[in-house]
């Protein structure tokens, strides 16, 4: 990662509400508060690290508006509404160099069906395959070795990283971003036990990703048995997540790594699943519900609630049970002593 920002460039990009101090350093790196050295930029994104600000060697620090300290020699504080968001603006600028937008066109090693429709403003990278009936919109970028199956439709300004697979008849709306190895439209996991063996149920539905959906590396979204699997607008899915067939996920949900959602389950808008959550099939997780890490959801979750544990239950109930479980060894010892005395 190559970084080179003058303080003038940082001021123009970040537009801090207040500036304290001065530095002559050109910013050449980004680091945590404790690890930063002169020439680095750092930020206070979590209040628990506030004590590390005064000892940080960073030349530029992004701090919240209520921070009261003063910078050291050759150091500047930029006070902003949200230090994490301000850093994201800077990283977005860096990302443009990390993943530069390629010029429109089709790489000579790509195979495009004559029956596909590809915008002249799109980019098709090396060794991509685009099958018959596919439509690809303006300013969409397919990096190397992307496969797009028959009849799929990809909107404008999408970004498909290397090794992405879009199976037949899937729909990606605008500004969808898929990380390396994401699989959209793999067969749903459906079988009937007939005559002493598991007989596969054909999965003839599709997958639709609405506007601004992002899906992480090596995550899979299964095609529906019928109708569609749908991921709602603005939903963000982490790496190594499994979405089963006929699942419906609402708008602006967050699904963290290693989650698994079984078939025909619905997540309403603004749901958050922490890491390694498992959700059973044919359930509903209500609007704005939050599910704690490693929870096992085997009943529907009411809107606006927080649950955790295995099986998942109200957050504070599980907290109390966790405290009691820690006391069990001592309790058994006490019971044993009482039994010996009788």
CATH number at residue 137: 2.160.10.10
Domain count for the chain, please give it: 2
* Set 157, 245, 252, 258: catalytic member: 245
Look up the domain containing 77 and give its range.
7-98
Q: Which residues pair with 62 in a beta bridge?
A: 43, 78
pLDDT for the residue numbered 1: 57
Q: Do the strands 147-148 and 129-130 form a parallel or antiparallel pair, or are they unpaired?
A: parallel
Do 91 and 114 lie in a common domain? no
The yes-or-no answer on residue 107 being catalytic is: no
Whether residue 321 lies inside any domain: the answer is no
Mean pLDDT of 150-162: 98
Whether residue 162 lies inside any domain: the answer is yes
Task: Please say whether the beta carbons of 211 and 191 come within 8 A.
Answer: no
As a whole number of Å, the end-to-end CA separation of the chain is 72
Final residue of a structural domain among 98, 115, 136: 98
Do 76 and 172 lie in a common domain? no
Do 271 and 238 lie in a common domain? yes
Per-residue buried b or exposed e for 258-289, using 16+ beta carbons within 10 Å of the residue's own CB: bbbbbbbbbbbbbbbbbbbbbbbeebbbbbbb
Whether residue 37 lies inside any domain: the answer is yes
Do 69 and 135 lie in a common domain? no
What are phi and psi for residue 315, nearest 5 degrees? -55, -50
Whether residue 21 lies inside any domain: the answer is yes
Cα separation, 197 vs 202, in Å, equals 16
Residue 2 has pLDDT above 70, yes or no: no
Whether residue 200 lies inside any domain: the answer is yes
Residue-wise pLDDT for 294-317, tens only, equals 999 999 999 999 999 999 999 999
Provide the CATH number for the domain around residue 53.
3.40.1390.10
pLDDT for the residue numbered 96: 82
């Amino acid at each position: 990662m190559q970084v080179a920002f003058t303080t003038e460039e940082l001021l123009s990009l970040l537009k801090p509400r207040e500036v304290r101090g001065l530095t002559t350093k050109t910013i050449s790196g980004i680091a945590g508060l404790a690890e930063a050295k002169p020439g680095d930029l750092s930020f206070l994104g979590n209040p628990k690290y506030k004590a590390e600000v005064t000892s940080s060697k960073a030349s530029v620090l992004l701090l919240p508006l209520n921070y009261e300290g003063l910078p050291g020699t050759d150091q500047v504080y930029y006070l902003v509404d949200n230090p994490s968001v301000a850093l994201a603006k800077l990283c977005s600028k860096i990302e443009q160099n990390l993943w530069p937008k390629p010029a429109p066109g089709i790489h000579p090693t790509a195979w495009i069906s004559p029956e596909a429709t590809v915008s002249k403003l799109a980019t098709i990278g090396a060794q991509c395959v685009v099958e018959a009936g596919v439509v690809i919109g303006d300013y969409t970028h397919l990096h190397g070795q992307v496969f797009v199956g028959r009849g799929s439709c990809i909107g404008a300004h999408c970004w498909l990283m290397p090794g992405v697979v879009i199976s037949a008849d899937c729909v990606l709306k605008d500004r969808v971003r898929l990380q390396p190895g994401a699989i959209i439209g793999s067969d749903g996991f459906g079988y009937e036990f007939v005559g002493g063996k598991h007989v596969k149920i054909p999965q003839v539905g599709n997958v639709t990703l609405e506007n601004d959906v992002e899906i992480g590396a090596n995550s899979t979204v299964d095609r529906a048995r019928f109708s569609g699997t749908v991921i709602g607008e603005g939903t963000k899915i982490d790496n190594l997540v499994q979405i089963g067939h006929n699942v419906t996920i609402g708008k602006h949900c967050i699904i963290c790594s290693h989650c698994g959602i079984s078939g025909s389950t619905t997540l309403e808008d603004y749901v958050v699943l922490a890491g390694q959550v498992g959700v059973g099939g044919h359930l509903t997780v209500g609007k704005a519900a939050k599910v704690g890490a490693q929870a096992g959801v085997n009943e529907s979750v009411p809107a606006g609630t927080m649950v955790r544990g295995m099986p998942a239950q109200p957050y504070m109930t599980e907290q109390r049970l966790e405290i009691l479980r820690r006391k069990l060894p001592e309790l058994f010892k006490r019971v044993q002593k009482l039994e010996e005395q009788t």
